Structure 1
Amino acid sequence: MVRLLMLVALSFVAVARPAAAQSILRDAETEALLRDMSRPLIEAAGLQPGNVQIVLIHNQEINAFVVGGQAVYIHSGLITSADNANEVQGVIAHELGHITGGHIIRLNEGAQQATGIMILSLILGAAAMAAGAGEAGMGVLAAGQQAALGSFLAFSRTQESSADAAGALYLSRAGISGRGSLAFFERLQDLEFRMNIPQDNGYARTHPLNSERLAMLTNVYESDPAWGRPPDPAQEERFQRVRAKLIGFVEDPRNVMTRYPESDKSIPARYARAYAWHRSAHPDRALEESEALLVAKPNDPYFLELKGQILLESGHPDEALESLRQAVALQPDQPLIAALFGHALIATEDPRNFEEAKRVLRVAVQRDNDNPFAWYQLGIVYDREGDQARAALATAERYNLTGQPQLALANAEQALMGIPVGTPDWLRAQDIAMVSRSQVQRQRDR
């Protein structure tokens, strides 16, 4: 029952799988929107926007969590189920409350307290059994386990309530209405009703009852000056676009077509259908939708990116170059689009395009070196140029990012043998080798 409740609640490290074990979704338009949506909340929390990451996880559960540092992980299911941007902002504000409250660090306090109760029950139970009171001893052990669990759950609920209060404060400071936050908790409550999750025992939960959270937050939000403030229409338009493209990308194409029938000629509907057609191997239909989007907005870099992606991934890289080159020119600070353009240049298999590909990809990884795909493409360019040492370095970067230290170490050592000593690339290869060697050793020691 506790696990079931966890699936439909805002959560953090206690219920989250390691982020590295999950599929992270990268998209230039989505990341730009999430940065803009979260910036006023991050500033209201007293944090620096440049230090806080909002990461999208490919997971259909309605969930969000933090696992340490200053990163908020949001499941794709939360975005696709949200009605508007304000609801997602409410979730982000809550998770920022976990970060500023130091809840990941303090989680050990709750665990230690529960462990102390468990150890005491073991000692008392063992003593009772040694004295011949076997049933009494077993009873003490069972009661100790229940008390330890109850202690940890109470600790978790306290942290969640603290994050709720902090989130409400950050929304208020940012001048953002709490309507979306309330709507989100109402959605969670409706979901629990549909799943027949009991609502009469708040003590067996990691989070307070949604009815309790709604009662507390309603009073707070309705008395806030921002309560009646309307949403930013431009931001809401961007959100509906991103939500639709995400639905088109992650959901079954048949469901997408039901949700966005062809009679719907709106931009979000065309966006969703374009991705659904592309994923279901109908490039002609996908291109029709992308062309219609470009008729509506000819200079939209993300629509140009979509057209280029469809052409590239359907086997027409030469035709994709024009759209992707325009997209990069319109959004020069978007390394994800640049990486896709670099991929298209390489995919033409025309050696005349390799120098441009190398230049584009080097800029892309300088601006965003956490992109394994860009490093992979850069490695291909170096390999085709005959620069095996830097191809090995790019490969080491890729394996370092994807959590494969043995392969990262092997390629970093190969790079060190061919790159001039003391150069920036040599120093980077040395860093990767040192970190990877340490990770490999830790794996062997387990």
Structure 2
Amino acid sequence: MRQVFRSGILGLTLSITTMLGSASVFAQAVGNDKNALPDIGVVASEVLTLDKEMLIGDAIMRQMRGQAPVIDDPVLTEYLQDLGNRLVLQADNTKFPFEFFLINNSVMNAFAFYGGHVGVHSGILTRADTESEVASVLAHEITHVTQRHLARRALSQQRSSPIQIASMIGGILLAMANPQAGIAAMQTSAAMASQLNIDYTRSNEQEADRIGIDILYRAGFDPTASSTFFGKMAQEYRNSSRPPERLLTHPLTEKRIADARNRMGRYPEVRLPPSLPFNLAKARLLARYQFEPEYALEHFKAVVETNSFAIKEAGLYGLAIAYFANEDYANAQQINDKLLASDPNNLFYVDLATDIDIATGHAAEAEQMLRAQLNHKPRNSVVVLNLASAQMAQKKNEEAIELIRDYLLVHPDDQLAYQLLSDAYKANKSFKGMYQSKAELLALYGAYPNAIDELQHAYNYTGDDYLEKQRIRARIQQFRDEQEKLKHF
């Protein structure tokens, strides 16, 4: 499914972050506590309970969706979530489900924040050579969450000004979407004062390195990937201009790199073949999000000719996407059909096949292919959302609406699903449903006043349906309650 990342989609202000108050310190705002690490379950919980941590994380995630260039791509999201889940299974102290998401940013960086949210810049995947290198970054971020490093920092920052913290957080969020503007916002902020420092404490970083490598090994990945990727990141920063240190959540010191290398001697050697899903994800990011269409075509033609991608099929997949982006559907289909024939359940190929079929007026063929997949993966986001798109392309809007509504019962935070649902209702001239879907989408971005406006529009289309009027009134009140709740942390 073709879906661009969302950047500045609502132009949200700092209101949500301001409401969070002094407990709401963004994952990057974890500072200079030089004391020994406190007990995880006791000291951190004094200032921030798990319930409150999840609530804060949800609020920040809503603002992230609205302001940062989050890549809303079901294929990539599923790959990253699956990779992250494999690591979470090996972690201790997991108190809530983790959500992994991609930011369209070529800087090699990643960050974690309250409630198990882990953001990964696309530069991590496009610069990594192996899946173990990406996994090493995720394992490190998972550890920051499970060790409750953010809650500990909140404990030490109880006296910080909420306005100063909010200003800093807003600058960080803006920097992810527009680095120059974000840096300027941070430089003019009172939060640049010494009372709040973005760098993780040395002890937190050492702990995340140590535990993260162990998680990496237990999950079956190559533990040496941590040190090799550290070295790769350090080399890149030596050879190019980089963001201010305060925008790097994990400043790399030579000591950290040396410590990681020293730890490698404790683990047996792990040899792994190249990962096809990782290389497909890397090719997709390059061809669809990092390169312009013409350059992507030149790049992947050269890759295929020289067989320079780690796995040949991934290079061909990148070339097929590049052909598609340049509207050369015949060549795109010729390549992808061969890939799909050799691996018919591979959702990278299934997704591209759907895009090609819809673009060439063969949505019925896409629907047939996807219905076969649906029997085995009834709640899979790639299958369901592509099937809904194929149905909508054939004006089967009622079927698409039913399919998406059922899917949203299991995936209530899927913004792409709500966008498709709104489009399906609109095409079907069901304006009440359209406005309700828009409201839910806006709520996912934390824009509760806008969401309430949409529900009030929906209310005007309820006619004499008393129960529906009551439902909409109740939902409006829920949005108001959510907004109010953030003010009283």
Structure 2 length normalisation: TM-score?
0.69
Q: Is the 8 A contact 1:157 1:207 kept in 2?
A: no
How far residue 240 of structure 1 moved from its aligned partner, in angstroms, is 1.4
Q: Which amino acid aligns with 1:25?
A: I
Q: Is the 8 A contact 2:96 2:115 kept in 1?
A: no
Residue of structure 2 equivalent to 1:371: 414
Query: Match for 1:218: what amino acid?
Result: R
Aligned to 1:119: none
- CA distance in 2 between partners of 1:285 and 1:357 (Å): 30
Distance 2:374 2:246 in 1: 53
Residue 88 of structure 1 and its aligned partner are, at CA, apart by: 1.0
Tell me whether 23-32 or 355-364 shows the greater mean CA deviation: 23-32
Equivalent residues of 1:156, 1:206 under 8 A apart: no
- Name 1:360's counterpart in structure 2: 403
2:69 corresponds, among 3, 13, 23, to 23
| One-letter code aligned to 2:229 | F
Question: Residue 168 of structure 1 corresponds to which residue in structure 2?
Answer: 213
- 1: distance between equivalents of 2:418 and 2:72? 15
C-alpha distance after superposition, 1:354-411 (max 9, x if no partner): 3322222222222322223322332344455554433332222122223433331022
**Offset of 1:94 from its aligned partner?**
0.6
Higher helix share: 1
Residue number in structure 2 paired with 1:311: 357
The answer on whether the counterparts of 2:28 and 2:200 sit within 8 Å (CA) in structure 1 is no
Deviation at 1:99, TM superposition (A): 0.5
**What is the Cα-based RMSD across aligned positions, in Å?**
3.8
Q: State the match for 2:184 in structure 1.
A: none
Match of 2:97 among 46, 51, 54: 51
Query: Which whole-Å CA distance do the structure 1 matches of 2:285 and 2:125 have between them?
Result: 8
Distance change (3 Å), C-alpha of 1:91 and 1:248: same
Which residue number in structure 2 is paired with residue 243 of structure 1?
Answer: 282
Q: 1:24-423 counterparts in 2 under 5 A?
A: 24-48=70-94, 51-108=97-154, 149=194, 152=197, 156-195=201-240, 207=250, 209-224=252-267, 227-231=268-272, 233=273, 236-252=275-291, 253=293, 254-255=295-296, 257-259=298-300, 261=302, 262-263=304-305, 264=307, 266-313=312-359, 316-349=362-395, 353-383=396-426, 385=428, 387-416=430-459, 418=462
Cα gap change, 1:325 to 1:222, in 2 (>3 Å): same
Change (3 A) 1:113 1:87: farther
Counterpart residue identity of residue 379, structure 1: S
**Matches of 2:247 and 2:69, distance apart in 1:** 31
Structure 1 unpaired stretches of 5+: 1-10, 116-144
Radius of gyration: which is bigger?
A: 1
Q: Residue deviations 1:91-131, cap 9 Å, x none? A: 0111012112222223345556899xxxxxxxxxxxxxxxx
CA distance in 1 between counterparts of 2:160 and 2:96 reads 37
Letter in 2 for 1:107: R
Q: Say which SS state the counterpart of residue 89 (structure 2) adopts.
A: helix
Distance across 2 between alignment mates of 1:71 and 1:326: 33
Distance 2:95 2:136 in 1: 17
Q: Supply the AA of the counterpart residue of 1:183.
A: T
2:174 counterpart residue number: none
**Residue 293 of structure 1 contacts residue 303 of structure 1 at CA under 8 Å; is this kept in 2?**
yes
CA contact (8 A) 1:157 1:205 kept: no
Please report how far the alpha carbon of residue 45 of structure 1 lies from its aligned counterpart in structure 2 after TM superposition.
2.0
Number of aligned residue pairs: 391
Give the distance between the partners of 1:209 and 1:327, measured in 2 at CA.
44
- CA distance in 1: counterparts of 2:201 and 2:134, whole angstroms: 22
Counterparts in 2 of 1:413 and 1:336: CA distance versus 1, 3 Å: farther
Q: Which moved more, 1:287-296 or 1:313-322?
A: 313-322
Contact 1:160–1:208 (CA<8 Å) still a contact in 2?
A: no
- Say whether the 8 Å CA contact 2:76–2:281 is kept in structure 1: yes
Q: Which amino acid aligns with 1:276?
A: A
1:72, distance to aligned residue in structure 2 (A):
0.8
Q: Which amino acid aligns with 2:147?
A: G
Q: Secondary structure at the match of 2:101?
A: strand
Give, as a single letter, the amino acid of the residue that structure 1 aligns with 2:282.
Answer: R
- Residue 111 of structure 2 aligns to a residue whose secondary structure is strand
* CA distance, structure 2, for counterparts of residue 355 and residue 150 of structure 1: 56
Identical-pair percentage: 23
Q: CA deviation at 1:426?
A: 5.5
Matched-pair contact (CA < 8 Å) for 2:388–2:403: yes
Tell me, in whole angstroms, the C-alpha distance in 1 between the residues paired with 2:232 and 2:379.
37
Structure 2 residue identity aligned to 1:266: K
In structure 2, what is the Cα distance between the partners aligned to 1:150 and 1:193? Answer: 29
Question: Aligned partners of 1:24 and 1:283: how far apart in 2?
Answer: 27
| Residue 203 (structure 1) shift | 12
Distance 1:440 1:409 in 2: 11
Q: Which moved more, 1:103-112 or 1:208-217?
A: 103-112
The one-letter amino acid paired with 2:266 is S
Q: TM-score, normalised by structure 1?
A: 0.75
Is residue 12–residue 65 contact of structure 1 (8 Å, CA) maintained in 2? Answer: yes
What displacement does 1:208 show? Answer: 5.4
Q: Distance in 2 between matches of 1:298 and 1:205?
A: 41
Could you tell me which runs of 5 or more consecutive residues in structure 2 were left unpaired when the two chains were aligned.
1-25, 31-59, 162-189
Match status 1:13 vs 2:28: yes
